[in-house]
Structure 1
Amino acid sequence: MEDPSRLFRAAADHAADYRRSLPDRPVGAPLDDAALVDAFAGPLPSAPSPPEQVLADLLAAAEPGLVASAGPRYFGFVVGGALPAATAADIVAAGWDQLATNAVTSPAAVAAEAAAGAWLKQLLGIPAWASVGFVTGCQAANTVGLAAARHRVLADAGWDVERRGLLGAPRIRVIAGDERHATIDRSLRLLGLGTDVVEPVPADPNGAIDLAGLREVLRAGSPGPTIVCLQSGNVNTGACDQLREACELVHRHGGWVHVDGAFGLWAGASPATRHLVDGLDLADSWACDGHKWLNIPYDSAFAFCAHPDVHAAAMSYTAAYLVGSGGVPVGAELTAESSRRARGFAVWAGLRELGSDGVAALVDRCCALARRFAESLTSAGFEVANEVVLNQVLVSFGDDARTDQVVAAVQADGTCWAGGTTWRGRRFMRISVSNATTTEEDVDRSVAAIVRVAA
């Protein structure tokens, strides 16, 4: 193998140049689908190609289709940026190419996950004894949490689901809010429970679960294995369920509480917003993203469980060749992946870069910028539909058709990027402020562009 130094430096230099360009480049990609497909297509060469030429061809083909989602004026899909230290850690992690299955395949990867996991629990307010699996996103994290829940509630009913499956098993009640995230339903499908099992609970005016409704649903159903899915950070409004009251209520009924906190769980990292997740330590499992508010490069998320033995029982497996398994559960034993890249290095580096004060400041700043968006767009004569409790803003520009037109025109304009959504039967522009590099100037520049386009 030839010395890769020049190739790797060229790749890193390009990545740095791209990152420097983010404040000034158009946010959306002026996409020519056919040209982009053609740039990547063509017959596979029969002969090997020089790596330098392959890299050059990749950069040329991809550049027209890149979206500046890591930049300061991207406000779609609750996407964070990528902190410098975390990005650098991901670069060296790719070079190290570690198999993060367990402490035999990569002692360093497992040690980094252990340290970063402890810091995460401290920041978020999750009990120190909880286990944590490093996964791809909250789809995976919700699936892990609900798999642990399925194991526990059926074990309490005398049923070994890992050995016997679901055929003939006691019926599980799954109770969740009307405005739960779609990944909850997909996790239920993947786990063999199906979406028909959900008993929905109405939401309050800002999108949090209605406690009186939850109490009524719990009381109305038949006793038996029960899982309740709560939410910290409604994907449209940012609203957070009242975790303390809800957890106490569910536990009185013998149920398991899973909290989908993809971005809203980070409210626990700031004294200014911690009240929004009061009582989160009472839950049984939690899902949270790193690539949203923590600004870790994609893909990064965490599945926490207050019952490590249950977590491992639901997710781990053994094999004669799998040296290193069977001790304290780590790595692949806490996720649905055996072949895992070492995500923990980037998380460790990002947390070290920010520190606890920096994480709190990041949360506070994004919340303040979301309020700045809401106040500015309200002053411009547009309707902000939600109470801005975190970093989410819903804006209407009149009727649904006009709102969709404005959203599309703003995306085409390129100054900023925000998506559209449907909430309570109406169309809105959804603005999510999650990037560590976003400034007041970025917000003001984006507001000016939105007002100009809407006019």
Structure 2
Amino acid sequence: MDQLTDLLVRAAEQAAAYRASLADRQVAATADPAAVRAAFGGRMPAGPTAPEKVLDELLAAAEGGLVATAGPRFFGFVIGGALASATAADVLAAGWDQCAFNAVLAPAASAAEETAGGWLKELLGIPASASVGFVTGAQAANTVGLAAARHHVLAEAGWDVERKGLHGAPRVRVIAGEERHATVDRSLRLLGFGSDVVEPVRADANGAIDVDDLARVLAAGPSGPTIVCLQAGNVNTGACDDLHAACDLIHRHGGWAHVDGAFGLWAAVSPSTRPLVDGVELADSWGCDGHKWLNVPYDSAFAFCSRPDVHVAAMSYTASYLTGSGTVPGVSDYTAESSRRARGFAVWAALRELGRDGMADLVERNCRLARRFADGLAEAGIEVVNDVVLNQVLVSFGDDARTDEVIDAIQRDGTCWMGGTTWRGRRLMRISVSNVATTDADVDRSVAAILRIAGA
């Protein structure tokens, strides 16, 4: 045990030193992918290696291939950092090595998820009676939500999809905005619907669903099992669908409303952004990430359902050897995994660290910093393409080729990191502000670097 203690202490010290370096560290990896692969490569050892030597080798191999995604100037992919308490809780979770299947196998992990799940519903404006499953990311959350939707609309039509499958089932209409996230299509593939099933709805000028066109699409098709996918937080613009109007319309047609709110659902925590998700409580299922705006370590997300019995029917299973399964629904009855890491510890810790006011401040500050980005670039003559309503900024440097060249140069420069996207047929730079550590100074330093690079 002395050897294990020394090893874990050294690993924690190295992790802490890395985190302390993020404010000044070059954001992009310093080694090219081939060099990183070579550092990790070679033949598998024939015999054992001492744990302390393995740690030395891992540190040396990984160093050049680390991207400072947890740092204050990484603005790609809507990636948050990781709060201090959440990071420490994740270290403990690894040390405790709990399989968070149910309260029999991991009572503490189960209790952490149940409590944190209640806090999340309160923060996000989701009904307290809803169920919640702790999953890996928005892909898993959307899949769980749409599995619950599939169960419900087909059960209402007299079909048991869990037992009979989709062959011979009543046709299910799936309606979604033309600017939905790609994970919705993959969820539909995984659930046996296929992506061709989607009936697209037009988006408005900033990427939110056009409610009038939603009414047209709903009325144009046959009545029967219907699922509609809404969005809180367009991945490019941050725009949020009119959830209140859309949910009312969907329910008048007897449909199920699922909200993909990977980062946009967090708008509910702040009085200044809450109107963007007015009506969120009217939906039937919701997906939301923790490793985005809550700033917990990867991987962490949540799948909520307004009807816990439907959630359980779509996702649970029993086996004779699984003590505690098949009785009162447990935390794993709301997910697609049985062998689950105890990610609830980090979520519980983050919510305790921030509190309701701290979470609101984080969202408000990141939205203010996004506007600071947009204002700083616009004042210098750079085109900001979208209406900055949340934490997303789209920028053009002229034609598509030049924009891609500037993005590539920014990433190689290392001061900050932004990604590229295609929106409305144009190549654009996408800035996502979601890290708890980002400051005004980080934004100003990044704007200066962007202008310097674009000018060159």
Give the TM-score of the pair, scaled to structure 2: 0.99
Matched residue type, 1:287: G
Offset at residue 50 of structure 1 (A): 0.7
Is residue 169 from structure 1 mapped to residue 166 from structure 2 by the alignment? no
C-alpha distance in structure 1 between counterparts of 2:158 and 2:256, whole Å? 16
Alignment check: 8 A CA contact 2:22 2:70 kept: yes
- Counterpart mapping for 1:257-406 below 5 A: 257-406=257-406
Matched residue type, 1:285: S
Q: Would you identify which runs of 4 or more consecutive aligned residues in structure 1 move more than 6 Å? A: none
C-alpha distance in structure 1 between counterparts of 2:32 and 2:226, whole Å? 50
Cα deviation digits, residues 121-153 of structure 1 (max 9, x gap): 000000000000000000000000000000000
Cα deviation digits, residues 55-99 of structure 1 (max 9, x gap): 010000000000000000000000000000000000000000000
Matched residue type, 2:350: G
Alignment check: 8 A CA contact 1:89 1:349 kept: yes
C-alpha distance in structure 2 between counterparts of 1:223 and 1:129, whole Å? 29
Matched residue type, 1:377: L
Alignment check: 8 A CA contact 2:418 2:430 kept: yes
- Counterpart mapping for 1:131-150 below 5 A: 131-150=131-150
Cα deviation digits, residues 153-204 of structure 1 (max 9, x gap): 0000000000000000001000000000000000000000001100000000
Offset at residue 3 of structure 1 (A): 4.1
Residue range with higher mean Cα deviation, 125-134 or 42-51 = 42-51
Offset at residue 328 of structure 1 (A): 2.8
C-alpha distance in structure 2 between counterparts of 1:299 and 1:132, whole Å? 16
C-alpha distance in structure 2 between counterparts of 1:23 and 1:37, whole Å? 27
- Counterpart mapping for 1:109-258 below 5 A: 109-258=109-258
Is residue 81 from structure 1 mapped to residue 69 from structure 2 by the alignment? no
C-alpha distance in structure 2 between counterparts of 1:223 and 1:173, whole Å? 9
Offset at residue 250 of structure 1 (A): 0.2
C-alpha distance in structure 2 between counterparts of 1:72 and 1:369, whole Å? 12
Is residue 55 from structure 1 mapped to residue 35 from structure 2 by the alignment? no
Q: Which runs of 5+ in 1 are unaligned?
A: none
Matched residue type, 2:194: G
Matched residue type, 1:162: E
Alignment check: 8 A CA contact 2:27 2:414 kept: yes
Residue range with higher mean Cα deviation, 142-151 or 46-55 = 46-55
Offset at residue 246 of structure 1 (A): 0.3
C-alpha distance in structure 1 between counterparts of 2:124 and 2:69, whole Å? 25
Alignment check: 8 A CA contact 1:415 1:449 kept: yes
Give the TM-score of the pair, scaled to structure 1: 0.99
**Partner SS state of residue 4, structure 1:** helix
Alignment check: 8 A CA contact 1:133 1:330 kept: no
Matched residue type, 2:209: I
Partner of 2:5: 5
Offset at residue 2 of structure 1 (A): 5.8
**Partner SS state of residue 132, structure 2:** strand
C-alpha distance in structure 1 between counterparts of 2:187 and 2:278, whole Å? 26
Alignment check: 8 A CA contact 2:80 2:292 kept: yes
C-alpha distance in structure 2 between counterparts of 1:387 and 1:327, whole Å? 50
C-alpha distance in structure 1 between counterparts of 2:402 and 2:279, whole Å? 41
C-alpha distance in structure 2 between counterparts of 1:20 and 1:155, whole Å? 53
Is residue 30 from structure 1 mapped to residue 5 from structure 2 by the alignment? no
Alignment check: 8 A CA contact 2:178 2:203 kept: yes
Q: Which runs of 5+ in 2 are unaligned?
A: none
Matched residue type, 1:101: F
C-alpha distance in structure 1 between counterparts of 2:327 and 2:237, whole Å? 42
Partner of 1:67: 67
C-alpha distance in structure 2 between counterparts of 1:85 and 1:328, whole Å? 31
**Partner SS state of residue 93, structure 2:** helix
C-alpha distance in structure 2 between counterparts of 1:240 and 1:272, whole Å? 14
Partner of 1:432: 432
Alignment check: 8 A CA contact 2:114 2:331 kept: no
C-alpha distance in structure 2 between counterparts of 1:34 and 1:189, whole Å? 33
C-alpha distance in structure 2 between counterparts of 1:328 and 1:382, whole Å? 57
C-alpha distance in structure 2 between counterparts of 1:425 and 1:317, whole Å? 45
Offset at residue 321 of structure 1 (A): 0.5
Cα deviation digits, residues 390-418 of structure 1 (max 9, x gap): 00000000000000000000000000000
Offset at residue 47 of structure 1 (A): 1.1
Alignment check: 8 A CA contact 1:30 1:412 kept: no
Offset at residue 271 of structure 1 (A): 0.8
C-alpha distance in structure 1 between counterparts of 2:352 and 2:240, whole Å? 28
Alignment check: 8 A CA contact 2:290 2:347 kept: yes
C-alpha distance in structure 1 between counterparts of 2:82 and 2:33, whole Å? 27
